[in-house]
Amino acid sequence: MATVPRNRKRERLEARVTPDQKALFQRAADLTGRSLTDFIVSSLQAAAEEAIRAHHVVELSVRDMAALLTAIENPPAPNEEVLAAAREYRTFTGR
């Protein structure tokens, strides 16, 4: 977890939890030797980073990867719509 310099303002978060949830969080914090606040903040940060990573990373199966590579190596011939779009682009850009 990145440390926050003392001169930076900190934001406050609040959450309502059940007594069982709080006890669970406190037990985990105690077992890891951290304060409840530190445990919650670091756990929440790790979960947020993982959610963002999972959203931005595309994971392909071996079969998906093979299909992608085949399509890249053997692209289909352009159809009439693609050829017309290319002509229009060249006319528009003068290229």
Asked if residue 10 lies in contact with residue 4, where contact means CB atoms within 8 angstroms, the answer is yes
Q: How many domains, the chain?
A: 2
In a domain, 1, yes or no: no
Tell if the pTM clears 0.75, that is, is over it. Answer: no
Structural domain containing residue 87:
62-93
Report if residue 4 sits inside a domain.
no
As a whole number of angstroms, the distance between CA 68 and CA 51 comes to: 25
pLDDT, residue 6, reads 66
Mean pLDDT in order along the chain per 10 residues (95 residues): 67 95 98 97 97 87 92 94 95 89
The answer to whether residues 70 and 48 belong to one domain is no
Please tell me whether residues 43 and 69 are part of one structural domain: no
